[in-house]
Structure 1
């Protein structure tokens, strides 16, 4: 299907969205936009309701803005919708001074009558933390990322001081607070749009027909086929050069590569490692690489009796040959993971005593706890590749062979998954991973392994350790960097000893695009805006 046909399909196949205009010819369509491949169908357009996927990784940066943004190099918060902020001496009160005159998107279903202001900030965050908020229960009433970091426990109140000033009052100091407001989940919605939907009794439309202040607005959506965004002419940073962005979500894997090579796609997100030689040898395409703040890991279900003894988890950890994974799955592009934190993190423990590959030790540990060869465990494996794991199926096969060598039979189930469904399926182990939302080490440790994260459903390991949580709490309160590093090192030591998860590898995020496109950005945190993308020919 060519670009022209795909755009027509976006117009004809609308379920509830309108406003698509037929392009006059294919060449005009290519000059006015680009097609992005390599992602799956989203379940929502609100990143507050997700923990990963197309909405959080890519769409949110096109549809919405946040109070703050992250510097891709220093990982420090920078002004966004908030032009500046003040922090009280006790670290409990954050006052944000907002930019004025910022326009919300105009769509066929909403036309704003006022610019962005403090009411929108209060509306967007109180929806997440207040059960009595009219939109709290809309679309399921779960906010997994916010729940995993205990956001509602942290916030005492959010108040509008005046039209362009909003204040967050915390229950305790939190060094990661500003970084968390800069993540892809902390998006700002239109309160005016919310009131319109409330009157119409259409609360779920807030998340499926979104309104933000981002560079593009949602124009049309055909599940399992296409998503089309159109340029927001009133964007406060200046209108994007490209009129539209089309997401081809019809297929994945080698099919996406074929579409790229036949120029049915302009951009391919996260090509698998085995495809890189084909792409890099073709002069029509440019291959970008970004060392990612990510990790692939194997999570044990610590609620399972068969995995309750730490020696069993230590044995499985010692049985996995990471060098083999790096060669066969990452083709030499990844690095061995000894911790959830990547080596580029300032809190990474370079003196870690984490156990490496040692199958003989693995057999000894299993014998010590009375486990004889022949035990069977179930592993859930995701269907889609991710930057931290370019081939989940191959990774599972290698782990399966490693465990067979120590007498453990591994039954592998491959299916589309999110973390909450992975827990509800009650597998013994889950192959998964994480892409950081900001540069703070808390963003790895708390959402993945804290007790709050277990309740929220992001903690696939079903592990809750109060000593570990206490170290994270102490690290979040102190202003002394050396002390924070010490707390995080001790937290990593607990992971090394208890082995609730097995870190496998840190991947490199690749993206390939046609040479005619310029202005494409990459970020260590996965998300990136298309507001500066242009076509040179």
Structure 2
């Protein structure tokens, strides 16, 4: 268990309040809110410290606001805490004008004495970029998502130029910067709360006892049981209709699907494909779907003796029957991936193709000197995702496909990927069956965090692949704001991936969500972002 995990579990004991209502023992939560079922356990309540999971995917949007948010239809940034912004002609200065009505939450551990100002924005981002900042090394000092994007190298300075005006100065132009600030990782913390924690000698509580400006605040956390959020009455966009939201994170008793059917849960975040027909036939539930900005892929460790050979990587791609994956794992709901970018991306390469040709794969294996095959371990995170609703089943199909060309695959199953551990010792992996859900609509968000040289050193580039020519394409694409020019550069970058094949794109999934028919206002986003600020229950 990591030091951060131990700190979180130890420090949240103050939240385990004697006499608190158990949301599963009666209708206390359902009468005044709703119960959300989804996989995962938090190891922090600060999304800046995470590389995904429950905190970034669901909790962040309830507890915190960002400067900007993404329009679910256009994928473009729009106002949130920032009402407006200006960009300098050279593309290196971004000035944001903050709304004056945003307030921080009142919790059992802190009562704010002022509303949100530029000081809070400066604190939140200086912590990320300044190694000497008093909070930079708190909770481990690693910010995986921002490090994979080279955020520290991009942002030279963050400064308050007025009480409600803040300016970011960049080291280079980056037209994806606004989209970066709209992700669920780019949250704003309370600088006043941080000063209070420093004075009291408990800075780590900023990540375990959050104080944000979102529509809900953290009220109670029972590890491996539930998380209870309560309504923030002073929310700048109006108090939420629901008094509380309870996240069922337990593994007790039956699975999440059964909990939905038996009314223990009001919302099931990601039903698997085999459950969809049952939900659709039940008039008590609504099944919503969203074509996802996602991709499932097989990462190949290019340091592995056999996988370092291009012909072997090409053979693996040719040996995988993607159509069988779509039918058996996605039940026909997904689409075959021909590249990393999904069809809904404006930089999608519509001319790229994939093939299933085991005979040609066998020839390539022989050409590479592996006529008799070899053995590899395949790391499989078992938590279902919208890009892969049944990871074990997908792994078994890939195992069978690769056996046909002489590759023996030993499946190593675990709950999720420990990127920090893999970063410390990349030799621990041969292949990883994983995927990606975009944090925003910019193509850079697919390619840079997963395949850039910088991402190799942060643990996100699971292929251990570094190609400076590819990186130069990424840098060129964010240096211009001409969409057609950017698309052409991204097509060239994708051609490099097709040629070198450091990973094998498999499929694009559909994000499904099931809910009680009486709940209104729950929306889906292609980026996995979900806010419950407008959810209500009809009688």
Question: TM bucket by the smaller chain?
Answer: over 0.9
Give the direction of change, closer, same or farther, for the CA distance of 1:429–1:28 in structure 2 (3 Å limit). closer
- Where in structure 1 do 4 or more consecutive aligned residues deviate above 4 Å? 18-21
- Partners of 2:324 and 2:354 lie apart in 1 by 16
Give the direction of change, closer, same or farther, for the CA distance of 1:312–1:253 in structure 2 (3 Å limit). farther
Deviation sequence 1:40-66 (CA, Å, 0-9, x none): 111111111111100010000000000
Deviation sequence 1:355-414 (CA, Å, 0-9, x none): 421111110100001102241011000021001000000000000000001111000010
Contact 1:225 1:248 in 2 (8 A): yes
State the match for 1:501 in structure 2: 503
Of 524, 532, 537, which residue of structure 2 is paired with 1:522?
A: 524
Contact 1:50 1:144 in 2 (8 A): yes
State the match for 2:107 in structure 1: 107
Within 5 A, what are the aligned runs for 1:201-240? 201-240=201-240
- Partners of 1:381 and 1:320 lie apart in 2 by 16
Contact 1:49 1:144 in 2 (8 A): yes
Within 5 A, what are the aligned runs for 1:371-520? 371-418=370-417, 419-423=419-423, 424=425, 426-520=428-522
- Partners of 1:258 and 1:474 lie apart in 2 by 50
Within 5 A, what are the aligned runs for 1:121-270? 121-251=121-251, 255-270=255-270
Contact 2:300 2:307 in 1 (8 A): yes
Within 5 A, what are the aligned runs for 1:358-377? 358-377=357-376
Deviation sequence 1:212-267 (CA, Å, 0-9, x none): 00000011111111111111111110111111111111129971111111101110
- Partners of 2:372 and 2:222 lie apart in 1 by 50
State the match for 2:15 in structure 1: 17
Give the direction of change, closer, same or farther, for the CA distance of 1:90–1:252 in structure 2 (3 Å limit). farther
Instruction: Specify the SS of the correspondent of 2:478.
Output: helix
- Partners of 1:107 and 1:42 lie apart in 2 by 19
TM-score, normalisation: structure 1 = 0.95
State the match for 2:313 in structure 1: 313
- Partners of 1:532 and 1:94 lie apart in 2 by 30
Contact 2:16 2:221 in 1 (8 A): no
Contact 2:373 2:405 in 1 (8 A): no
- Partners of 1:511 and 1:485 lie apart in 2 by 32
Instruction: Specify the SS of the correspondent of 2:169.
Output: strand
Report the CA distance between 1:417 and its aligned residue: 2.4
Report the CA distance between 1:483 and its aligned residue: 1.3
Deviates more, 1:21-30 or 1:447-456: 21-30
Report the CA distance between 1:461 and its aligned residue: 1.1
Residue segments in structure 2 that go unaligned for 5+ positions in a row: 1-10
Report the CA distance between 1:156 and its aligned residue: 1.1
TM-score, normalisation: structure 2 = 0.95
Report the CA distance between 1:422 and its aligned residue: 4.3
Give the direction of change, closer, same or farther, for the CA distance of 1:239–1:23 in structure 2 (3 Å limit). farther
Give the direction of change, closer, same or farther, for the CA distance of 1:506–1:181 in structure 2 (3 Å limit). same
Deviation sequence 1:260-284 (CA, Å, 0-9, x none): 1110111001011011111111111
Deviates more, 1:515-524 or 1:418-427: 418-427
Instruction: Specify the SS of the correspondent of 1:376.
Output: strand
Instruction: Specify the SS of the correspondent of 1:456.
Output: coil
- Partners of 1:152 and 1:530 lie apart in 2 by 31
Contact 2:183 2:440 in 1 (8 A): yes
- Partners of 1:458 and 1:374 lie apart in 2 by 28
Report the CA distance between 1:434 and its aligned residue: 0.4
- Partners of 1:158 and 1:266 lie apart in 2 by 42
Deviation sequence 1:76-117 (CA, Å, 0-9, x none): 110110000011111111110000031100001000001000
Contact 2:119 2:163 in 1 (8 A): yes
Contact 1:72 1:524 in 2 (8 A): yes
Report the CA distance between 1:31 and its aligned residue: 2.2
Instruction: Specify the SS of the correspondent of 1:529.
Output: coil
- Partners of 2:477 and 2:402 lie apart in 1 by 37
Instruction: Specify the SS of the correspondent of 2:166.
Output: strand
Aligned pairs, number = 524
Report the CA distance between 1:504 and its aligned residue: 0.5
Contact 1:450 1:464 in 2 (8 A): yes
- Partners of 1:280 and 1:470 lie apart in 2 by 47
State the match for 2:7 in structure 1: none
Within 5 A, what are the aligned runs for 1:279-294? 279-294=279-294
Deviation sequence 1:427-457 (CA, Å, 0-9, x none): 1100110000000000000011001111111
Give the direction of change, closer, same or farther, for the CA distance of 1:279–1:79 in structure 2 (3 Å limit). same
Contact 1:355 1:496 in 2 (8 A): no
Contact 1:40 1:224 in 2 (8 A): no
Give the direction of change, closer, same or farther, for the CA distance of 1:367–1:96 in structure 2 (3 Å limit). same
Does residue 52 of the first structure (1) align with residue 52 of the second (2)?
yes
Give the direction of change, closer, same or farther, for the CA distance of 1:131–1:515 in structure 2 (3 Å limit). same
